Structure 1
Amino acid sequence: MGNALQDLQTNQGAVFAEELSVPVTFGNDAAALAAAQSGVAVCDRSHWGRIRVSDSDRLRFLHNQTTNQMQQLQPGQGCDTVFVTSTGRTIDLVTAYVDADSVLLLTSPGQAEPLMQWMDRYIFFADKVKLTDETATTVAFTIIGPDSPALLAQLGLSELATAPDHSHQVATIAGVEVQVANGSGLALPGFTLIAAADAGGPLWSALTDAGAVPLGDRGWQTLRVEQGRPLPGTELTDDYNPLEAALWQAISFDKGCYIGQETIARLQTYQGVKQQLWGLQLAAPVAPDTPIMVEGNKVGVVTSCVPTAEGAIALGYIRTKAGGLGLSVTVDNQSATVVDLPFASRGYLAT
């Protein structure tokens, strides 16, 4: 990310943390979160990974590596898909954008290099697959909120407002070339924009000048916990599979073989999902790994928690047999209620 973008964001009130290359906050968290729910906010997601997968075997390769149907996607289409281990444990949830001659993967923060190494293990001598890490040479911004289509229309891109989820096209904004994709990465309306790193400043300026309220990473984390989007290191680990993480929408059950397919198919066929990701409405924040209790018995564990104006909301895995939506639990000596997550999808568990 170029200094021009950071200078622009600093002038808008951005505060940066030493370990994070994007703004943690703009000092306006409450207003930015309100804009994401009822107006339009813009978040710098340039620290999320971007991997370009190219050459003639790219779709077949990704089809065999991840959970969703890839080979049927056409240029301009995309999907969410999950990288899993051979035993069906989660590595990362990524969004794939298919172009005419390549596929761009938007990974979770810090996951580009591990996924590059993971995929490289499965590229054999005859495979025509090339991997390129574009994280450092591009920026990624997401506009979030019900007024996102109106903002794009203001920038001359009104036709994208009704495009299918994850569909994308190249457009020109503020004189720079931008890939604009339908989807915010949450169960909120929005669009994700990816451009060359040196275009970051003009693009960010165009979005904020058009009325998007800057949202820092702290605000994004609040939204993603409220929405129930799992991240590696918290909800996506070797302890959980994507069915438990409520990522059914990113899984194809009729696509054939892929790494981890046998385990996931068996769990779905025999309804063997033993725990599920839920939200917890709390009076005060708690630490990750705090046990979730019912009548003195541990039924789960907290994975993430953020403060809110009403107290706090957490994500946690709860045993399926213990219950789900509406369940009363105890967390760190506080009573809590299990709530649903807008980002979650649960297959046969939905009923």
Structure 2
Amino acid sequence: MTSKETEVWRGAEVVMHWGDPEAEYQGIRSGVVLVDRDERETWVATGQDVVKLIQGLVTGNVFTLAAEGAGMMTTAVNVKGRFVTDLRLLHILDILILDLEPGQTAAGAVSHFKNHVITEDAKFHDRRSSTARLGVFGPGAAEALEAAGRFSVRLENLAPFHGTSGRIGADGVVVQATPITGGAGFELYVPRESKERIERVLLRSSGMIRAGHLAMERARIEAGIPRFGVEMDEKIIPLEADMNYAIAYDKGCYLGQEVIARLDTRGVPAKLLRRLVIEGQQAPALDSEILHDGKVVGEVRSVAQTGDGAWVAMGYLKRDHNEPGMQVEIGELRAVVAPLSA
């Protein structure tokens, strides 16, 4: 029997593990796992002006989401170019879904968007009570979902953050490709009343096991994929987190664009988020200072153990000290600077 352990993380209850975090991690890397993702916030944006409104408040080009199933990862920034949040958007079934990290309702993205509605026909609807969230991750994720359900397009053909609709058993679902662990992954939006039934169907297919937050975070950090609320916060500019893929430099004006554009064309960020490959078998402590030639040049934001027993971290390094291949120190440990993607 599995032993579920839960904790409150960023104000939301999450399943930390189901009794064997190591097996859960191995499932993400070499098999297929089912993850409870109910901590994430699901909102729907409607109204004739809502696309234009969001276009002026995020760094990505929302106009590229005209096709059914189109999606993206993007960011919202303030007038100083610093994060309000990151978010995933998905145009599906004639609605626009906003997928947010926990804690974004009152002071985060939803409040940010609502505060910019003046006379526009734009509304934001909280779907957390009616929509449950599940995730399926691992090399066998697409095959397992295809075996359990029927979808409008082949899941293996979905581009990152694009989606489709379908059915698992008698229940309608929406699926979005979310490669957030360095491998294949999909997030499901399912009717709240159907969640347990869908879980049972999925767990009967393809040797799928349950996995929790600890295994997911380990895989994510190992892969060098930053997350808002961990490596990124309201003091960071998206360019400092190397999130160029979430920025459309050729779109029209949006809040914070001047700062983003100035950094891109004229300047170099004061710091950059990097992976740190630790030498030896000891883990550095979170928030540790990163040094080069005895001078503090950065700080550690996250740490994880790789599948082969080594340790990696993500941290911000100041300008002139973040080139891949540079050697730095974290306490008594030595580390090599590497790009974010593993």
Give TM-score, length-normalised by structure 2: 0.91
Shift of 1:313: 2.2
Taking the aligned partners of 2:181 and 2:72, their CA distance within structure 1 comes to 13
Taking the aligned partners of 2:231 and 2:128, their CA distance within structure 1 comes to 23
Which residue number in structure 1 is paired with residue 235 of structure 2? 239
Shift of 1:104: 0.6
RMSD of Structure 2 on Structure 1 (CA) = 1.9
Which residue number in structure 1 is paired with residue 147 of structure 2? 154
Shift of 1:45: 1.3
Q: What's the CA shift string for 1:228-247, capped at 9, x where partnerless?
A: 33233332223321111011
Q: What's the CA shift string for 1:284-315, capped at 9, x where partnerless?
A: 33333211101101111111223456253221
- How many pairs does the alignment contain? 332
Taking the aligned partners of 1:331 and 1:324, their CA distance within structure 2 comes to 16
Which residue number in structure 2 is paired with residue 173 of structure 1? 168
Q: What's the CA shift string for 1:243-291, capped at 9, x where partnerless?
A: 1101111100010111111100010011422321111223333333211
Give 4+ residue runs of structure 1 displaced > 6 Å after superposition. Answer: none
Q: What's the CA shift string for 1:202-225, capped at 9, x where partnerless?
A: 122222211222110111111221
* Equivalent in 75, 84, 91 of residue 84 of structure 2: 91
Which residue number in structure 1 is paired with residue 333 of structure 2? 334
* Equivalent in 218, 222, 241 of residue 222 of structure 1: 218
* Equivalent in 52, 66, 77 of residue 44 of structure 2: 52
Distance 1:213 1:100, change over 3 A: closer
Which residue number in structure 1 is paired with residue 177 of structure 2? 182
CA contact (8 A) 1:289 1:301 kept: yes
Which residue number in structure 1 is paired with residue 314 of structure 2? 315
Taking the aligned partners of 1:94 and 1:228, their CA distance within structure 2 comes to 18
Shift of 1:108: 1.4
Taking the aligned partners of 1:24 and 1:95, their CA distance within structure 2 comes to 23
* Equivalent in 123, 134, 137 of residue 130 of structure 1: 123
Structure 2: give runs of 5+ residues left out of the alignment: none
Taking the aligned partners of 2:284 and 2:105, their CA distance within structure 1 comes to 30
Q: Secondary structure at the match of 1:164?
A: coil
Deviates more, 1:34-43 or 1:250-259: 34-43
Structure 1: give runs of 5+ residues left out of the alignment: 1-10, 344-351
Give runs of aligned pairs for residues 85-124 of structure 1, distance below 5 A.
85-113=78-106, 114-124=108-118
Shift of 1:111: 2.1
1:39 aligns with 2:31: yes
Distance 1:238 1:115, change over 3 A: closer
Give TM-score, length-normalised by structure 1: 0.88
Which residue number in structure 2 is paired with residue 77 of structure 1? 70
1:15 aligns with 2:15: no
Which residue number in structure 2 is paired with residue 347 of structure 1? none
Taking the aligned partners of 1:70 and 1:318, their CA distance within structure 2 comes to 31
Taking the aligned partners of 1:18 and 1:112, their CA distance within structure 2 comes to 17
Shift of 1:186: 3.8
Distance 1:160 1:227, change over 3 A: same
Deviates more, 1:310-319 or 1:23-32: 310-319
Deviates more, 1:108-117 or 1:70-79: 108-117
Q: What's the CA shift string for 1:12-44, capped at 9, x where partnerless?
A: 432122555231101221122112112212221
Shift of 1:101: 3.5
Which residue number in structure 2 is paired with residue 62 of structure 1? 54
Taking the aligned partners of 1:79 and 1:337, their CA distance within structure 2 comes to 32
Q: Secondary structure at the match of 2:241?
A: coil
Which residue number in structure 2 is paired with residue 25 of structure 1? 17
CA contact (8 A) 1:50 1:112 kept: no
CA contact (8 A) 2:326 2:336 kept: yes
CA contact (8 A) 1:91 1:232 kept: no
